[in-house]
A and B are shown apart, each in its own frame.
Chain A
Amino acid sequence: MASLKEVKTKIAGVKKTAQITKAMNMVAAARLRGAQEKMEAFRPYAAKFNVTMSNLSGGANTTGFPLMEIRDVKTVEIVVVTSDRGLCGSFNANIIKLALKMRTEYESAGKKVSFVCVGKKGSQLLKKTGLVRKSYRDTMGNFQMYNAREIATDLASHFLSGASDKVEVLYGHFKSVAAQIPALSHLLPVQPVSVEETEKKISGDYIYEPSTEEIMDVLQPLYLNVIIYHAMLEVGASEHAARMTAMDNATNACKDMVKSLSIIYNKARQAAVTSELMDIVGGAEALK
């Protein structure tokens, strides 16, 4: 049986760990609120954008827009959006798992795959595949639209140069505080957006300035920004939610450990007391 002192130190250690995980849980909860507010603020912009995009692309044909050009797919680029920090359960691992699965699928279909990583965790975990073309680290903490723009511009110019024929974005979808699932959205070539009919309330008699085509030319890069920014927002919120759950579990596990260690400690103490008593009684007995 472990010595009294050993057990005592261990209990103290576990208790301190519990304090840390508890604090991390609360920090994550506060950050989650911030991230959700950010998502909430973005929603009207995204909704309006989608409606306009669908209005515009409804009439326009796909030829003539380099970003909409559908080519024979030889190289697929997967943008993997993960968090910068760990300690958030299996959140990042799930995304990476899907990324690797997609890679095997594409490669067995004879296509080349390259990764662009947003978030430090993704680039660390995918490094060993040797397929990472570019990685953006330390942006997930406090990102703005211009971070998304930088990424989108790079992806677009890579696509336009012909180095990639299809670009997909893999991110952690924030389904609820309890559930975050890896999700995939299509980025390039830009597909005509379709919004449910009820939201379409337009008529064809808009005045366009300049022409529809020129507006599309301006809107398409912005549309890429919107998708990337959206993915980053989702990952931002998911990360904190995942960390909250993970840290809550850790705190509970610590409490359980303290409980079972306390039992061991009490048993050990009782054994020590008993053996001391035995000694005293034995000594007194011998003196008689």
Chain B
Amino acid sequence: MGQQIRLEVVTPTGAKVSEDVDIVNAPGFGGDFGVLANHAPFLSTIKIGTLTYENGKKRESLMVSGGFCEVSNNKITFLVESAEKGSEIDVERALKAKERAEKRLVQAAQQTENFNRKRAEVALQRALARLKVSNMR
């Protein structure tokens, strides 16, 4: 095993993950990116999506939404509004949220209200990301 990088995922409700890992894959604002040990100092915003990390043979996925990540001193810190492991995701709730958001999008398409559409889009993204992660289990 080569060198490792420290991964920390911090949410408003507390630290979610804090361990040494081999590689981190994250949904960056301009596309997904991977971070290995001894990466140069780096700061990026995070989209709603899937964060995966590998530690030896173990592979874990997290659903993350909105925030940013910082790499410095061989440590990668994610500050996100929420982070959920596949096992913690309420699939039924996510499915319902997905349906609701889709319905809202259809409604919003008929009106010209920008704000509601944006909200529904974000909700849909979140629901889809949750479902994706829960399927990866």
Contact = CB atoms under 8 A, between A and B. Distances in A.
Interface residues of B, number: 26
Majority SS at the chain A contact face: helix
B9 to A, nearest CB: 10
Contacts of B55: none
Contacts of A44: 10, 14-15
Contacts of B115: 157
Given A42-B12, A45-B12, A52-B68, A203 B79 contact: no
A208 B44 contact: yes
Size bracket, chain A contacts: 20 to 34
Interface in A9-60: 38, 41-42, 44-45, 48-49, 52, 56
B8 to A, nearest CB: 9
B118 to A, nearest CB: 10
Interface in B1-50: 10-15, 28-30, 33, 40-45
A6 B11 CA distance: 59
B90 interface: no
Nearest to B44: A209
A210 interface: yes
A45 B79 contact: yes
Contacts of B11: 45
Contacts of A272: none
Contact of A214 (B14, B45, B66, B72): B45
B45 A218 contact: yes
B41 A214 contact: no
Given A206-B43, A219-B45, A229-B12, A214 B29 contact: yes
B99 interface: no
Given A52-B43, A215-B43, A145 B82 contact: yes
A219 B68 CA distance: 8
A134 interface: no
Interface of A: 38, 41-42, 44-45, 48-49, 52, 56, 145-146, 149, 157, 202-203, 205-210, 214-215, 218-219, 222, 225-226, 229
